[in-house]
């Protein structure tokens, strides 16, 4: 089996590790160190789970520049009441207008106010947003309050991004957790994914601090539930496990503001060049291409070009 | 030159860790350009008699002595720790000590811990505390949910002023991990005052060099301003965490000049480890 120089250096390709071991005794002189930043900048990226409103938007875009992230899908997940979530979404729209070629919007909703939530979804989609997100912990994703919103998203072929936790305290009784009881867990995604197989659900942040093995194993057989790769946890082997369990096509690159580890965890995984490109860009770009929601191309930038 | 002040070998009982041998660590070091790694044995966190883990580690690093600097795990609440400490230094060639108060069920401020830090110092060994091993949200039902705080580390530093203290999984904030409460600025400043004067070294596991941070990270530029450029050193937490992000965290830090980056890559570690 031949292993290219790039595969050897980056550890991509199944044989790379073995080849390294065979090629060089442990104390032999080192190969020139890989320029990891250069490697990071080599890939086109869409961050499908990020936020504005936590720092200056200019700083956010500059941070994305440093890691070579061309587009960020952003939201402000705040606001229980209709006037509050509308204000959050106005904040997103303002940021997107400021950086139309870099930012795509997601709209935050509280489905407890069902009529207002659907009106707000349609307003935001009309303004070019790609769909609802990051939906939070006011109502679980499996609650019937979400059904009309999900059905609207099916019509639009719009992805639905929602905050997820898989804390021990949420998965098993009797253990402490800081998460609110209505926080969606992987089991909720599996159930709603089966109820609406034509919907596109994005389970938020594999590295959001919970049990990512549980997360992957729970949604294994629900192909319309995607997993985003964001979160502060960047355990070694996490992305490799997700690829093995879900398939590379169900993983979507994201940072949730953790830029270095967001990119680093994909580069560190033992992936082929094509798999890296799929996670960093192609998978989410494909979802947007198929969607009827999002900014019209004529208004600058298109979805994911 | 690059030194990793935070690596491990051994098994973690709650999850399979890829690349958890010294040989695998060396492969990573070679691939990414790390010259030296400080390594501890995970088993020492779980064995009651930690000396068995230190003996294991001494065997593991022996073929790679020039590249791996072993740190002993000492449990000062267990019988014979003074003998173990002495033997680790003089017979096993350990370069420093790692303490795990939260796993070994004592407090950093307990007299026995202070005594251990002092005794390690007498042997010329720096002492490392790890604020956590993993994010407690993902812990096993058999694992603990306790984390150390920087305040506890600062108290040890004040109690043993000549100690060299390494802080692993260092979260440079008074805000505990995973909590959204706003930091108390006055408390931060008081803590910074103590730690700035102390001989402490933080790893860069949670440092963000790009100027924007998520919940479990701190802004490296602000942290350097607050604590000084001599307080930070490159660390990977391998094999718990993937090996690439720690490099990116420093590489994207445009605000840090070349000299500061060099200090973080190796200079501060060399000074601290007396290499």
* pLDDT tens per residue, range B195-210: 999 999 999 999 999 9
Q: Which residue of A has its CA nearest to B25?
A: A26
Residue pointed to by tokens 């014979």: B80
Q: Among A21, A66, A237, select the one facing B252 at the smallest CB separation.
A: A66
- Could A259 and B252 be called an inter-chain contact, meaning their C-beta atoms sit closer than 8 Å? yes
Interface test with chain B among A54, A175, A208, A235, by most B beta carbons within 10 Å: A235
Q: What is the pLDDT of residue B182?
A: 52
The structural domains of chain A, with segments of one domain joined by +, span: 1-34, 35-296
Q: How many angstroms separate the Cα of B53 from the Cα of each of B61, B75, B201?
A: 12, 11, 25
* DSSP three-state, residue A49: strand
Our CA-based measurement puts residue A245 at a distance from the nearest CA of chain B, in whole angstroms, of 15
Nearest-by-Cβ selection for A264 from B66, B211, B242: B242
Indicate which of A169, A238, A259, A269 best probes the interface with B, i.e. most B CBs within 10 Å of its own CB.
A259
Nearest to B242 among A30, A176, A268 (CB): A268
Domains of chain B: 3-273 (3.20.20.140)
Question: Between B33, B139, B239, which is nearest A30 by CB?
Answer: B33
Q: What ipTM is given for this predicted complex?
A: 0.95
Q: Which residue has the higher pLDDT, B175 or A283?
A: A283
**H/E stretch holding B73:** strand B68-73
Task: Out of A230-244, B72-86, B208-222, pick the least confident.
Answer: B208-222
Q: Are B8 and B39 in contact (CB under 8 A)?
A: yes
With CB atoms and an 8 Å threshold, state whether A178 touches B179.
yes
| Phi, psi (deg, nearest 5) at residue A46 | -120, 125
CB atoms within 10 A of CB B254: 12
Please give, rounded to a whole number of angstroms, the shortest distance from the CA of A230 to a CA of chain B.
10
In sequence order, which residues have a C-beta less than 8 Å from that of residue A276 and are 6 or more positions away? Answer: A12, A43, A266, A267
Write out residues 19-38 of B within 8 Å (CB-CB) of A.
19, 23, 26-27, 29-33
What pLDDT does residue B189 have?
84
Which residue of B9, B30, B138 is the best one to mutate when testing the A interface, meaning the one whose CB has the most A CBs within 10 A?
B138
A65 → chain B, closest CA residue: B210
Distance from the first to the final alpha carbon of chain A:
36
Q: Please report which helix (H) or strand (E) contains residue B128, including its range.
A: strand B127-130
Q: Which of A79, A169, A161, A155 is nearest to A120 (CA)?
A: A79
C-alpha distance across the termini of chain B, in Å: 12
| Contact of B256 with B265, CB cutoff 8 Å | no
Return the bridge partners of B72, or none.
B97
CATH, range A35-296:
3.20.20.140
Q: Using the structure block, give the residue that is written with the tokens 């999984």.
A: B169
CA distances from A104 to A95, A135, B125 (A): 9, 16, 52
User: Which mean pLDDT values do the consecutive 10-residue runs of chain A (305 residues) have?
Assistant: 38 38 43 85 98 94 98 97 98 98 97 97 96 96 97 97 96 91 96 98 96 98 98 97 98 97 98 98 97 62 39
**Residue A244 corresponds to which tokens in the numbers above?**
């093995």
Q: Which helix (H) or strand (E) holds A104?
A: strand A103-105
Q: Does B251 reach chain A within 8 Å, measured CB to CB? A: yes
Of the pLDDT bands very low, low, confident and very high (cuts 50, 70, 90), residue B186 is confident
pLDDT of B101-157, one tens digit each?
A: 999 999 999 999 999 999 999 999 999 999 999 998 999 999 999 999 999 999 999
Query: How many angstroms separate the CA atoms of B49 and B83, rounded?
Result: 12
Cα→Cα distances B190→A181, B154, B226, Å: 36, 10, 11
Measure the CA–CA gap between B229 and B227, rounded to whole angstroms.
Answer: 7
Q: How far apart are CA A271 and CA A277, in angstroms?
A: 10
């Amino acid at each position: 089996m031949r292993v290219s120089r790039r595969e050897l250096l980056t550890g991509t390709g199944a044989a790379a590790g073995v080849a390294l071991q065979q090629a060089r005794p442990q104390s032999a002189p080192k190969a020139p160190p890989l320029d990891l930043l250069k490697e990071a900048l080599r890939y086109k990226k869409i961050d499908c789970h990020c936020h504005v409103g936590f720092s200056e938007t200019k700083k956010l875009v500059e941070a994305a520049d440093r890691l070579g992230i061309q587009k960020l899908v952003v939201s402000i997940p705040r606001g229980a009441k209709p006037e509050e979530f509308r204000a959050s979404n106005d904040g997103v729209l303002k940021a997107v207008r400021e950086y139309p070629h870099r930012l795509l919007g997601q709209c935050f909703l509280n489905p407890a106010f069902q009529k207002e939530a659907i009106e707000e979804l349609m307003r935001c989609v009309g303004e070019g947003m790609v769909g609802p997100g990051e939906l939070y912990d006011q109502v679980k994703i499996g609650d019937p309050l979400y059904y009309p919103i999900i059905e609207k998203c099916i019509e639009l072929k719009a992805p639905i991004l929602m905050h997820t936790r898989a804390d021990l305290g949420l998965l098993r009784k009797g253990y402490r957790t800081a998460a609110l009881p209505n926080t969606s867990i992987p089991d909720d995604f599996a159930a709603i994914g089966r109820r609406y197989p034509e919907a596109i659900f994005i389970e938020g942040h594999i590295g959001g601090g919970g049990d990512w093995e549980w997360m992957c194993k729970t949604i294994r057989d629900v192909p319309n539930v995607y997993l985003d790769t964001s979160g502060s946890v960047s355990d070694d082997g996490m992305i490799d496990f997700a690829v093995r369990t879900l398939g590379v096509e169900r993983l979507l690159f994201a940072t949730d503001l953790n830029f270095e580890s967001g990119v680093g965890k994909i580069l560190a995984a033992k992936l082929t060049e094509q798999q890296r490109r799929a996670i960093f860009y192609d998978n989410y770009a494909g979802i947007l291409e198929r969607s009827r929601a999002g900014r019209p191309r004529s208004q600058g930038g298109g979805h994911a070009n | 030159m690059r030194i990793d002040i935070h690596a491990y070998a051994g098994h973690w009982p709650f999850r399979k860790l890829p690349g958890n041998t010294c040989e695998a660590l060396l492969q990573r070091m070679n691939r990414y350009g790390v010259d030296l790694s400080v390594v501890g044995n995970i088993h020492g966190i779980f064995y009651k008699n930690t000396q068995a883990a230190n003996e294991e580690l001494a065997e593991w690093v022996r073929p790679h002595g020039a590249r791996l600097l072993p740190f002993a795990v000492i449990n000062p609440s267990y019988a014979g720790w003074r003998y173990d400490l002495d033997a680790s230094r003089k017979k096993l060639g350990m370069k420093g000590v790692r303490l795990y108060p939260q796993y070994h069920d004592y407090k950093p401020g307990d007299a026995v811990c202070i005594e251990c830090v002092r005794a390690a110092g007498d042997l010329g060994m720096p002492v490392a505390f790890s604020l956590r091993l993993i994010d407690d949200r993902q812990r096993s039902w058999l694992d603990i949910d306790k984390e150390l705080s920087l305040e506890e580390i600062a108290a040890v530093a004040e109690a043993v002023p000549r100690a060299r203290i390494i802080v692993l999984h260092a979260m440079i904030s008074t805000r505990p991990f995973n909590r959204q409460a706003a930091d108390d600025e006055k408390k931060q400043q008081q803590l910074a005052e103590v730690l700035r004067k102390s001989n402490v070294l933080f790893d860069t596991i949670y440092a963000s060099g790009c100027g924007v941070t998520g919940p479990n990270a701190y802004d490296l530029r602000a942290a350097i301003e607050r604590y000084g450029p001599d307080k930070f050193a490159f660390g990977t937490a391998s094999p718990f965490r993937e090996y690439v992000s720690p490099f990116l965290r420093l590489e994207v830090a445009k605000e840090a000049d070349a000299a500061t980056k060099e200090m973080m890559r190796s200079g501060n570690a060399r000074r601290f480890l007396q290499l």
